[in-house]
Amino acid sequence: MSKNNYKVNIGITCIFLAVTLSSSTVLGFPPDNAAVLYLRAFIVYEEPDNEDLSKMITDLQDGKIKPNDRIRQYFEKNRPVIELVTTASQIPNCDWGRDHSKGFDLMMPELATVRKLAFMLVADSKVYLNDGDYKTSLERCLTIHRMARHISDDLIISNLVGVAMNGLANKHIKIILSEMPADVESLQWLKNQMLDVSAKTPSLISAIRAEAEISLREIRKENTDKLLGYVNTEDIKVIRKADTDTTPSDGSAEEKKKKVYEENVEKLRNGDEEYFSQSRKYYMDFITSVKTAFALPYEDAYRELEKLNEKIAKEAETNPAAFLTSHMSPMIAKLCTNEMVFKTNFNAVITAIEIYIIKAKTGRLPDSLPAGLPKDLFSGKDFAYEKNADGFILRCQGKDLDKNKIHEYEFKVKK
Amino acid sequence: MNEQKNDKWLDELISRTINTEKPEFDAENWKQKYPDEFQALQSRAAKIPARSIKWPTFLKSPVVKFAAAAIIIMAIGLFMIRPAADKKVEIAETANARKSSAEMLTLRSLKIAYLNGGIEAVEVQCDKAIEKISKRPERITFQELLEDIDGV
């Protein structure tokens, strides 16, 4: 009897577990992949139905006009889209199903559509800002930051698009900060959210590493046709033509360059296993040098990467193994600067929020920066802080070597 | 200097400036190739009375003609000497126009855009691709769909 009871209990437990697990799978919301919700949002998203409305929304984003009834109706129609996107942005995992085996033919349509949704969020944020709902307005910008994290976690290009979206969100957070009343609680909440978002932002070096894996898989004899296409497509010719158009042409140097290029293409076309093995080795050494340079402080890293780029371009003239690397290596020193600009911008906004908090608590701006705030990454030092009539300025102490300029960030304070 | 000579001088000056070959019109060949159009043109010409244009005297002055030539040359020059960046964008846009949105959004295509013009070029490419994706027929009736299928 007890044996039968035992069997019945086991049976009931199994059924309970099966029902619980299956219902959680069927009814579980949100899913554990944010991409599913983004895709649902893309499906139901309604575009502005005429040019007028489209222009009005752009003007609203740029702060040229205030929201009107037509704009409000448009956002009301797209409310489910914004809800889906907001929920999606809070899911930790996002898998777009990018097929890395396609090599450089891998498609990334999500980059375009996510950007579009980001612009819609900016406009919606402006509506809330106009209505005095500062927290929801800020929440829309934080959603853009979280979306940026979801698209920028694996390749260099997606990382760059993500960085641009972060820049967009920070730009509008700055505007909201300049208009919102001093409210310690909201500012503290924003600071914590920003720290959370910035901590989870994927690094460029991990994107470089992931893209290097794709490149190494591509540099193989069986992919010769694809590689020839990569170094000799119409687009590449377009670049070459455009580049020669901008520089004063020295006939013999141009001729020599063209000849070397054609010889290299021939070597690639007839390349044996040894050629590809040497090319892979060259590329791997290049990536190792890049990783080492990225660990250095900005100025040293930039100079090192510039030297590396020059070395590859020069060696490609004499060493066939350098040819593919010279085509596959992005403008790496520029990328390093991009990352510094992005991270330093983040640090400036977080530092500014701290200053707004002091202002909210004491009624006045501090005379100097408190200790322990995020740094200007160009110099590795604190930002230079300066009060002015409208608010304050945070200035970098190190130079952006790509643009040869010092970045500064101006924050206004509501009077 | 008669009027005809002046025109020739102006033609040559413009031609030298823009460095193009003068297109030649083969009237005989055209007449043979398009007899109907030639007839139509002849009958129309017969209906229109010949008018001689009376230009104000000051327009015949060599100084005015030289100034006019200079303005034309400057306009052509400004049109031709555009910033190289514009050329790049134009070339890239022509290349993009031939591509599908899917092609425009491949890793390779976006990398090339980045090499061409940095992150701004990548963003422009994303926007262009979205424009293509958005250009879909607004409505299609079931009847139209059936007609399309029958037509294949």
Same domain membership, residue B88 and residue B70: no
Name the maximum alpha-carbon separation found in chain B. Answer: 73
Where is average pLDDT lowest: A144-153, A338-347, B17-26, B29-38? B17-26
For residue A409, the distance in angstroms to the closest alpha carbon of chain B comes to 21
For residue B52, the distance in angstroms to the closest alpha carbon of chain A comes to 47
- Structural domain contains residue B140: no
Same domain membership, residue B62 and residue B9: yes
By the CB < 8 Å criterion, does B123 face chain A?
Answer: yes
Compute the C-alpha angle A318/A332/A286, nearest 5°: 50
A28 in Cβ contact with A83 (< 8 Å): no
Same domain membership, residue B90 and residue B125: yes
The model carries a pTM of: 0.73
Nearest CA in chain B to A214: B107
By the CB < 8 Å criterion, does B70 face chain A?
Answer: no
Which pLDDT score, from 0 to 100, does residue A26 have?
52
Query: Helices A69-77 and A79-89: crossing angle, nearest 10°?
Result: 60
- Highest averaged pLDDT of the listed ranges A16-25, A152-161, B124-133: A152-161
Asked if A246 lies within 8 A of B84 by C-beta distance, the reply is yes
For residue A113, the distance in angstroms to the closest alpha carbon of chain B comes to 7
Q: What is d(CA A138, CA A349) in angstroms, rounded to the nearest whole number?
A: 13
Asked if A330 lies within 8 A of B111 by C-beta distance, the reply is yes
Same domain membership, residue B109 and residue B94: yes
Which pLDDT score, from 0 to 100, does residue A228 have?
86
Nearest CA in chain A to B130: A112
By the CB < 8 Å criterion, does A228 face chain B?
Answer: no
Same domain membership, residue B119 and residue B97: yes
- pLDDT bin (cut points 50, 70, 90) of residue A225 is confident
By the CB < 8 Å criterion, does B109 face chain A?
Answer: yes
- Please check the confidence at residue A4 and state whether its pLDDT lies above 70: no
Number of neighbours of residue B10 by Cβ within 10 angstroms: 16
- Structural domain contains residue B50: no
pLDDT tens for each residue of A262-282: 888 999 999 999 999 999 999
By the CB < 8 Å criterion, does A105 face chain B?
Answer: yes
- Structural domain contains residue B106: yes
Same domain membership, residue B11 and residue B66: yes
Same domain membership, residue B123 and residue B88: yes
By the CB < 8 Å criterion, does A113 face chain B?
Answer: yes
- Please check the confidence at residue A287 and state whether its pLDDT lies above 50: yes
C-alpha distances out from residue A76 to A100, A134, A332, B139, Å: 38, 18, 44, 23
Residue by residue, DSSP assigns B99-134 as S-HHHHTBHHHHHHHHHHHHHHHHHHHHHHHHHHHH
C-alpha distances out from residue A145 to A86, A89, A200, A201, B110, Å: 11, 9, 10, 9, 22
Which residue segment(s) compose the domain that B64 sits in? 1-16+57-81
Q: Per-domain residue ranges for chain A?
A: 1-27, 31-202, 207-330, 344-415
By the CB < 8 Å criterion, does B17 face chain A?
Answer: no
pLDDT (mean) for B86-104 = 64
- Structural domain contains residue B112: yes
Structure tokens at A144: 């853009």
- Structural domain contains residue B144: no
Which residues of chain A from 230 to 259 reach within 8 Å of chain B, CB to CB? Answer: 230, 234-236, 238-239, 241-242, 245-246
pLDDT tens for each residue of A43-100: 999 888 888 999 999 999 888 999 999 999 999 999 999 999 999 999 999 999 989 8
The ipTM estimated for the assembled molecules is 0.73
Evaluated on CA atoms A54, A56, A62, A66, the torsion sign reads negative
Which pLDDT score, from 0 to 100, does residue B63 have?
67
Give B116's contacts in chain A (Cβ within 8 Å).
238-239, 242
- Please check the confidence at residue B131 and state whether its pLDDT lies above 50: yes
Bin A28: left if φ > 0, else alpha if -120 < ψ < 50, else beta.
beta
Q: What is d(CA B57, CA B70) in angstroms, rounded to the nearest whole number?
A: 20
Where is average pLDDT lowest: A24-38, A210-224, A254-268, A285-299? A24-38
Same domain membership, residue B124 and residue B67: no
Asked if A246 lies within 8 A of B107 by C-beta distance, the reply is no
Q: Is there a cis peptide before residue A30, judged by omega within 30 degrees of 0? A: yes
Give B95's contacts in chain A (Cβ within 8 Å).
234-235, 238
pLDDT tens for each residue of A297-355: 999 999 999 999 999 988 988 899 999 998 887 688 999 999 999 999 999 999 999 99
Q: Shortest CA distance to B86 belongs to which of A238, A242, A239, A240? A: A242
A225 in Cβ contact with A265 (< 8 Å): no
pLDDT tens for each residue of B28-45: 666 666 666 666 666 655
For residue A411, the distance in angstroms to the closest alpha carbon of chain B comes to 25
Asked if A239 lies within 8 A of B112 by C-beta distance, the reply is yes
Inter-chain contacts counted by CB atoms under 8 A, chains A and B: 94
Give A331's contacts in chain B (Cβ within 8 Å).
114-115
Asked if A104 lies within 8 A of B130 by C-beta distance, the reply is no
Query: Helices A204-218 and A224-231: crossing angle, nearest 10°?
Result: 120
Structure tokens at A411: 């924050």
- Please check the confidence at residue B61 and state whether its pLDDT lies above 80: no
Which pLDDT score, from 0 to 100, does residue A239 have?
44
| Full strand arrangement of the beta sheet holding A384-387 | A384-387, A391-395, A408-412
Asked if A157 lies within 8 A of B95 by C-beta distance, the reply is no
Work out how many domains chain B is built from and give that number: 2
